[in-house]
Amino acid sequence: MKKGSALNKSRLRIGVLAGGSSSEREVSLRSGQNILNALHRLGYMRAEIIDSDYAGLKKLFSKKFDLVFNILHGGSGEDGTIQGFLETLNIQFIGSSLSASVNCMNKVFCKYILQETDIPTPEFIHIPCYAEISPDIIQAVKVNIGFPCIIKPVSEGSSVGVRIIKEEAGFLDSLKKLHLQFKEVFIERFIPGPNITVGVIEKFDELISLPILELVPTNEFYDYEAKYTAGKTQFIIPARLPEEVYGLCLEIAERVFRIFKCRDFARVDMIVEKGRFPLVHDINTIPGMTDLSDLPAEAAHAGIGYDDLIEILLLNGIRRNEKEK
């Protein structure tokens, strides 16, 4: 689309990048189909879904899309790989840049940045790929974190591979298995308390924090099944927090969005210790957009329907790209 040209919905070519090869492929496809349906309802009839395989990426060139809506979840779709690919080839896209994607997807990088910018985050111990899993780690956990604790892969999403370890017995075996499977993991302090998530969207030059969503899963925690199975999680909007804590959570979410230089949309996940002290544990630069996803539910509570949400993100991306030309 040429600079200064009026938006012509019927001519705008939009590629919805969905699918990919990560463990979140099916969720990405569901998100992508929802977005495509919304774009068609809005009149963007030349929108289509593109996978991130070789054939799909070739289409990005042959069809000369005006804009790509990246909704790949996890893996190379969210860790900066596809973002770097698109940026290198000057393909305009909706979503965060390479650097923001890297620093948010790698949860250890993310936590170090949070610590250095005085954003509260749960204490953790990093177990790199080359680490030897020995009984010494148990002592380090006892001193620095305590039991129960949580073991998490460094670069997975949708709670894939997350394990809650309630006591010392069985801890080392669980750590060895997860370390072998995911290569790089970290151990985080388990914090009982409300789990909340704050969606943040950009509308031109304005940041909009959406109503805070409190997550009450029927499972032990908000795992993959709880996230994507109907009836497995109760959504409470707005979250049941004291007014001053609620305001602080919104403030933290917007600050995090700016610190990491996120673009267009993101979701900041927190746990509120003792119902009063919010700690950030995850930043999602490509939030799910399925029927059961958090961000669309928050937007709906704010009076922003699904189609309106998609058009806000689309127009924000178009406007940013026009300014950068």
Supply angle C-alpha 288, 105, 122, rounded to 5.
100
Q: What is the mean pLDDT of residues 251-276?
A: 97
Torsions phi, psi for 88 (to 5 deg): -60, -35
Share of the chain above pLDDT 90, in %: 76
Half-sphere exposure of 323 (CA within 13 A, CB side): 8
Q: What is the mean pLDDT of residues 53-60?
A: 86
Tell which residue, 130, 180, 116, has the closest CA to residue 151: 180
Tell me the pLDDT band of 244, cut-offs 50, 70 and 90: very high
pLDDT, position 1: 46
Tell me the pLDDT band of 21, cut-offs 50, 70 and 90: confident
Tell me the pLDDT band of 77, cut-offs 50, 70 and 90: very high
pLDDT tens per residue, range 276-290: 999 999 999 999 999
Q: What is the mean pLDDT of residues 244-261?
A: 98
H or E element in which residue 68 lies: strand 67-70
- As a dihedral over the C-alpha atoms of residue 221, residue 223, residue 227, residue 230, rounded to 10 degrees, the angle is -70
Asked if pLDDT for residue 315 goes beyond 70, the answer is yes
- As a dihedral over the C-alpha atoms of residue 6, residue 10, residue 13, residue 16, rounded to 10 degrees, the angle is 120
pLDDT, position 4: 43
Contact 184, 128 (CB under 8 A): yes
Share of the chain above pLDDT 70, in %: 95
pLDDT, position 231: 79
Ordered domains of the chain (ranges, CATH)? 103-120+192-307 (3.30.470.20), 124-189 (3.30.1490.20)
